[in-house]
Structure 1
Amino acid sequence: MKKVLFSLLIVTCFAFSKGEPRVETYNYGQNGMELVARSNKGVIIVSTYNSKMTIRQDIARKLYDLYLANKLQNNKKITVEGSQADVTGKCIIRKKNSLTAVDFYYEVVDWDSGLKEVYASR
């Protein structure tokens, strides 16, 4: 009886395991300003490039929050954890007087469903 329960447990573990994530490439995306905000530091513009339409607003808001918390560095690769997916990309910060532009270039999107999308330029 113990052997039957143990084998049933093992089979169940394999049946519900996620396995390797499926990897796909994409060469399209949305480019543009997602968020314009005023703060005590001046005007901040968050722009995304090669972004996925369904998560671009969420990721832009998270980038803005990271910028306000001083957790973004210029010309560095970062991972932003969104509600539907985690996005890895390069962040470029440009400042001129009281205007700050935060540009984020999507490189990899890890969806919660297990799908992994990698941006590949044409």
Structure 2
Amino acid sequence: MKYLLFLVLISTQLAFSQESIRTYRHGQNGMELIAKSKSETVIISTFNAKMDIHQDIARKLYQLFKEKKVAHNALLTVIGKEANVIGKCLIKKSGNLTSLEFYYEKVFWHNGMVEKYGR
């Protein structure tokens, strides 16, 4: 009897623990960070960003760029304080100016909620 009750509880948990994905359409677009060094200037822009985390994600993105962990037109996961963001990063260079454009695709909040940008 105990095992049957345990099995029912576990199967109920599994049934209701499915990840639900919410869609949002009104993200913020704009330049978040401009970093200058002797050899180059880096501009970080985000698109479809969530207002609560856009500055944190831009700083983490710049850190990943400095560590050479960002590739052009590649899917990238940025781990932030409040959420992890998956998105596509485009890198454009012109002389000593580098522009990183990061497009949010999914936001995995640390409280378990998942949001996807819907066009």
Query: TM-score, structure 2 length as denominator?
Result: 0.86
Unaligned runs of 5+ in 2: none
Report how far residue 23 of structure 1 moved.
Answer: 1.1
Separation of aligned partners in 2, 1:70 and 1:115: 30
Question: Any residues of structure 2 matched to 1:21-60 within 5 Å, and which?
Answer: 21-60=19-58
Runs of 4+ residues deviating >4 angstroms: none
CA displacement, residues 29-76 of structure 1 (integer Å, 9 cap, x when unaligned): 000000001124410000000000000000000000000000000000
Separation of aligned partners in 1, 2:84 and 2:93: 27
Q: 1:22 touches 1:114 (CA, 8 Å); kept in 2?
A: no
Question: Any residues of structure 2 matched to 1:86-97 within 5 Å, and which?
Answer: 86-97=84-95
Q: 1:90 touches 1:105 (CA, 8 Å); kept in 2?
A: yes
For the aligned residue pairs, the C-alpha RMSD in angstroms reads 2.4
Aligned residues, how many? Answer: 119
Instruction: Give the counterpart of 1:75 among 73, 76, 85.
Output: 73
Cα separation, partners in 2 of 1:90 and 1:51, compared to 1, 3 Å: same
Q: Residue type matched to 1:76 in 2?
A: A
Separation of aligned partners in 2, 1:69 and 1:39: 15
Separation of aligned partners in 1, 2:83 and 2:48: 15
